Amino acid sequence: MKKSKHPETNAIRTQAKRSVHKEHSVPIYATSSFVFDSADEARAVFAEEIDGYQYTRFSNPNNDEFIEKLSMMEGVETGVATASGMAAIFLSLTAHLQAGDHIVVSQSIFGSTHQIITNLLPRWGISHTYVDIDDNDDWEQAVMPQTRLLFVETPSNPSLDLCDLEYLGDLAKRNNLLFVVDNTFATPYLQNPAKFGAHLICHSATKFIDGQGRVLGGAILGPKSIIKDVLPMARQTGASLSPFSSWILSKSLETLAIRMDRHCANALAIAQFLEKSKEVKTVKYPFLPSHPQFDLAKKQMTLGGGLVSFELHGGADRCKNFINNVEMISHTSNLGDSRTSITHPASTTHSKLTSEERERVNITDGLIRLSAGLEHIDDIIIDLQKAIDKSK
């Protein structure tokens, strides 16, 4: 089929080649290896002289279908499917760095990413500077002669702060740096970092891409010229995604656009509801005019995303009471699920950060991260209102 200019059509209409059975929906290729017709064919496949599958750690039709759809939605050439979002992040960093290199990273990043950068990379001689995600001068001043890479997550988890993608794309270009963006929160439906000069885009597909909290998965996407250095490392270290998970994730991409529309509409309505409540101290949502980076959000995202963060008056105790009093809303560390969920980052996802580190990225002890699900908005608001009242 000819490619459409609409990514959501391509996500639905892109499919692995049909087998002899002419199935409408692609089957799960639950096989660890593939057979060869001849000794010559096997040699040629291994030598990469001809296309062909050999072993699922290297490639599999389900993984290929997932990556073809996702790279089309991101507007890039290709990618690698990984076992989790963290595998994608780890590979996007280590495939291109060596001892003596330095990287510049926004300090508002996912807890496990923070651990890789703070504790693992220095063991291999790779140093870093943490900067304020929204301070362009801070980014600029942190670049040194040995800097090789910029890494950012935007909007950030859980503070929902943004970086200026265009500025960082330009900074990377001027200094010949690799620019890596974790696009998990926005998904390729809301934001395409490659348009602003990002070279590699990482996803935790576990979140909105799956959208129903079923599997772990991830991906690294980018131009062939850069992915070619990630691919051998993914294959050799065994970071590959299982065909079952890529089948789920590929099917999920067919509904990503319509689900994100609802996640974003619910999140905006929740943010507006919280902003009106006298019991609420702060609310952060990229598409609320009160967000300090509202104009930037409008420029680089098409909708505000599915996450809202907020604080109630009364600090950590009130926050705990609130969490203990939700009824329908799930209390869990996952996000991007069809079910609305809340979590307390300071004691869970970001508990490995020191309290000074948390303070610097606005993760207070009273901060709650909410992931808007797909339920009817009235049911979500009723549950929130009840928990706010009972937590007093």
- CB closest to ligand PLP, residue no: 85
Residues 27 and 248: beta-carbon distance below 8 Å: no
Pairwise CA distance, residues 276 & 371, whole Å = 19
Residue with Cβ nearer ligand PLP (34 or 244): 244
Residue with Cβ nearer ligand PLP (68 or 153): 153
CB of 186 to ligand PLP, least distance (A): 10
DSSP string for residues in 349-371: TTTTS-HHHHHHTT--TTEEEEE
Say whether 204 sits in a helix, a strand or coil. strand
**Interface with ligand PLP by CB under 6 A: which residues?**
84-86, 89, 110, 153, 157, 182, 184-185, 204, 206-207, 216, 218
Residue with Cβ nearer ligand PLP (56 or 157): 157
Residue with Cβ nearer ligand PLP (85 or 169): 85
CB of 113 to ligand PLP, least distance (A): 6
Residue with Cβ nearer ligand PLP (373 or 391): 373
- How far is CA 371 from each of CA 80, 313, 367, rounded to the nearest angstrom? 27, 20, 13
DSSP string for residues in 90-144: HHHHHTT--TT-EEEEESS--HHHHHIIIIIGGGGT-EEEEE-TT-HHHHHHH--
CB of 307 to ligand PLP, least distance (A): 9
Pairwise CA distance, residues 36 & 342, whole Å = 50
Q: Which of 286, 295, 244, 290 is nearest to 268 (CA)?
A: 286
Q: In what order do the strands lie in the sheet with 127-131?
A: 78-82, 218-222, 200-204, 178-182, 147-153, 102-106, 127-131
Residue with Cβ nearer ligand PLP (211 or 388): 211
CB of 156 to ligand PLP, least distance (A): 8
The one-letter amino acid code at 107 reads Q
Residue with Cβ nearer ligand PLP (101 or 182): 182
CB of 68 to ligand PLP, least distance (A): 20
DSSP string for residues in 209-271: TT-SS----EEEEE-HHHHHHHHHHHHHHT-BPPHHHHHHHHHHHTTHHHHHHHHHHHHHHHH
CB of 282 to ligand PLP, least distance (A): 21
Residue with Cβ nearer ligand PLP (242 or 391): 242
The one-letter amino acid code at 388 reads I
CB of 338 to ligand PLP, least distance (A): 16
CB of 144 to ligand PLP, least distance (A): 26
